[in-house]
């Protein structure tokens, strides 16, 4: 259901926002995470298995708390973006944006005319409460939060132009794929990767747009916030659950040895 965008307010106030990656597509996890106090939840439909129907259930569950629902799209398909926005996504994260032209296409797909070319069915979709909010279409463009991801050395070269695109609210530096794009997959702490990150940072800041990222060696979530990053997401639901399960099994190991 349509509501004020908490994440957009936090970013506009110049504050850092904390989020979590939800890859399992399980609505109860979204509900727990939102009630825990996160500013936003990333429903990861790029790397996660969730269908659009499962994503809608997670959106409903997330609204038990204040967390803004951000959907990471599988790609840049405008038809997918239209459907997930109609379903109620409050923020969009789009991966692998490498040029200003691609960024403009993302914005156009997400915005109603005249700012874009998003198809209109506002009175019938979940995003408007199935018509319960007659002002949804008039407010949707301003309320939506659009985040594009820089994840390659090509994108880092074009960071200033990408960030300058009107309608892009924040640029997220994906350090994992960025490292892979220069032949250093899984090595985000390498100086060569850091150089690419710094280049991307400089371009985004020159355009006056806020930055987001994930932690990397030597740069914790708190340290990144001190560096000026405003959108930060570290743990994923799958990783958090695995860590808790492994710790639980390890804690019980002495009892098994005694047996």
Task: Give yes or no: 47 in active site.
Answer: yes
- Helix, strand or coil for residue 204? helix
**Which one is catalytic: 6, 47, 57, 219?**
47
- Reading the block at residue 248, the tokens are 């639980």
**Kindly report the CA angle at 216 between 211 and 166, in degrees rounded to 5?**
15
149-174 in b/e burial notation, b at 16+ Cβ within 10 A?
A: bbbbbebbbbbbebbbbebbbbbbbb
- Reading the block at residue 97, the tokens are 């944006």
Question: What do you get for the CA distance between the two ends of the chain, in Å?
Answer: 54
Which alpha helices (DSSP H) does the chain contain, by range? 6-12, 27-36, 52-62, 78-86, 100-110, 136-143, 153-157, 159-163, 175-181, 191-206, 221-226, 237-258
Alpha carbons 38 and 81: distance in angstroms, whole number: 24
- Reading the block at residue 242, the tokens are 């695995």
Catalytic residues: 47
């Amino acid at each position: 259901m349509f509501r004020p965008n908490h994440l957009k307010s936090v970013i506009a106030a110049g504050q850092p926002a904390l989020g979590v990656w939800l890859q399992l597509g399980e609505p109860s996890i979204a509900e727990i995470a939102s009630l825990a106090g996160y500013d936003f939840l990333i429903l990861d439909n790029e790397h996660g298995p969730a269908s659009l129907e499962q994503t809608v259930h997670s959106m409903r569950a997330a609204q038990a708390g204040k967390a803004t629902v951000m959907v990471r799209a599988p790609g840049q398909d405008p038809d997918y973006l239209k459907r997930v926005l109609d379903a109620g996504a409050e923020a969009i994260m789009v991966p692998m944006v490498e040029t200003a032209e691609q960024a403009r296409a993302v914005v156009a797909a997400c915005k109603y005319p005249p700012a874009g070319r998003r198809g209109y069915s506002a009175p019938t979709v979940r995003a408007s409460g199935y018509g319960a909010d007659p002002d949804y279409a008039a407010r949707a463009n301003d309320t939506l939060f659009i985040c594009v991801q820089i994840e390659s050395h090509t994108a880092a070269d074009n960071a200033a132009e990408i960030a300058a695109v009107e309608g892009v609210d924040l640029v997220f530096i994906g350090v994992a794929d960025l490292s892979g794009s220069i032949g250093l997959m899984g090595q985000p702490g390498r100086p060569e990767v850091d150089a690419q990150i710094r280049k991307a940072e400089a371009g985004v800041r020159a355009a006056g747009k806020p930055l987001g990222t994930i932690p990397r060696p030597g740069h914790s979530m708190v340290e990144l916030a001190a560096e000026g990053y405003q959108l930060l997401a570290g743990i994923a639901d799958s990783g958090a659950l695995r860590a808790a399960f492994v710790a639980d099994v390890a804690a019980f190991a002495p009892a098994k040895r005694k047996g």
